[in-house]
């Protein structure tokens, strides 16, 4: 599990593709502290297992399943990626609970300056927009953010200057794809709510009365 608070921006130095997936080499420094072979590292929001590490790099192997739901196929040497080590239980969760399991990719629609902050707009696949709510949490390329607005399948987030310096979202160009992880708890509620064997008290009226819909 992760928090969505980016610890470091790494640089992709090598990409090797095969029928089995993709091997990535990422140059980094801060996240190497405490990392061993087998550690989980969140790279652009996707949880990956370290298969090799050296004094200034890690290697991971992304499966074809990962490639099918992330922007990893668009990666190239020199790209900057967001990095975070796995959450420890003695650490404050200042972001939100991020599993590192990507739901889909979204398209960057542009941004605008709002004086102090900057607003970024993204277009989601239609079937994932139901998990995004105003003031809810969302992870974009692994960054824990609060939804500033949502209309149909377009949502926005606002980033303050200090966050912009720490993440790779400032490098986005219109049409670029980003990795999206929606709220984990929303998917559990949906499954319980739609289950044919649902014997719990969770129903539409319960959700409405408690401010969830």
The CA-atom distances, in angstroms, between 210 and each of 40, 206, 207, 213 are 36, 6, 5, 8
Q: What is the pLDDT of residue 3?
A: 92
Q: What is the pLDDT of residue 96?
A: 87
Nearest CA to 131 out of 107, 109, 103, 93 is that of 103
Question: What residues are paired with 62 via a beta bridge?
Answer: 22
Q: Which residues contact 90 (CB under 8 A, 6 or more apart)?
A: none
Q: For the chain, which domains are there?
A: 8-85 (2.40.30.20), 104-182 (2.40.30.20)
| pLDDT, tens only, 50-96 | 999 999 999 999 999 999 999 999 999 999 999 999 998 787 778 88
Residues 137/94, Cβ–Cβ less than 8 Å? no
DSSP code, position 40: E
How much is the CA Rg of the chain, to the nearest whole Å? 18
User: In the predicted model, what is the mean pLDDT of the chain?
Assistant: 91
In degrees, rounded to 5, the angle at the alpha carbon of residue 175 between the alpha carbons of residues 168 and 131 is 80
Nearest CA to 62 out of 73, 76, 78 is that of 73
DSSP code, position 91: S
Check: pTM over 0.85? Answer yes or no. yes
Q: Is residue 198 predicted with pLDDT exceeding 70?
A: no
- CA 63/CA 84 separation, integer angstroms: 19
Q: What is the pLDDT of residue 89?
A: 79
Nearest CA to 81 out of 32, 41, 22, 130 is that of 41
| pLDDT, tens only, 30-46 | 999 999 999 999 999 99
Nearest CA to 137 out of 161, 152, 157, 122 is that of 157
Helices (H) and strands (E) in the chain, counts: 4, 12
């Amino acid at each position: 599990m992760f928090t969505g608070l980016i610890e470091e921006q790494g640089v992709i130095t090598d990409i090797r593709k095969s029928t089995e997936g993709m091997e990535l080499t990422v140059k980094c420094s801060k996240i190497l502290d405490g990392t061993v072979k087998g550690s989980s590292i969140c790279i652009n929001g996707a949880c990956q297992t370290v298969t090799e590490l050296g004094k200034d790099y890690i290697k991971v192997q992304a499966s074809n399943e990962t490639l099918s739901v992330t922007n990893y196929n668009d990666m190239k040497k020199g790209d900057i990626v967001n990095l975070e080590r796995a959450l420890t239980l003695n650490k404050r969760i200042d972001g939100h609970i991020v599993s590192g399991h990507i739901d889909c990719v979204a398209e960057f629609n542009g941004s605008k300056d709002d004086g102090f902050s900057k607003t970024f707009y993204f277009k989601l696949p239609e079937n994932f927009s139901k998990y995004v709510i105003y003031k809810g949490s969302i992870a974009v390329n692994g960054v824990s953010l609060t939804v500033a607005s949502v209309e149909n399948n377009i949502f926005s987030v606002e980033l303050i200057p200090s966050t912009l310096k720490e993440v790779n979202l400032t490098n986005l160009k219109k049409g670029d794809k980003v990795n999206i992880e929606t709220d984990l708890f929303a998917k559990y509620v949906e499954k319980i709510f739609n289950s044919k064997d649902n014997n719990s008290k969770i129903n539409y009226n319960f959700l409405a009365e408690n401010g969830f819909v």
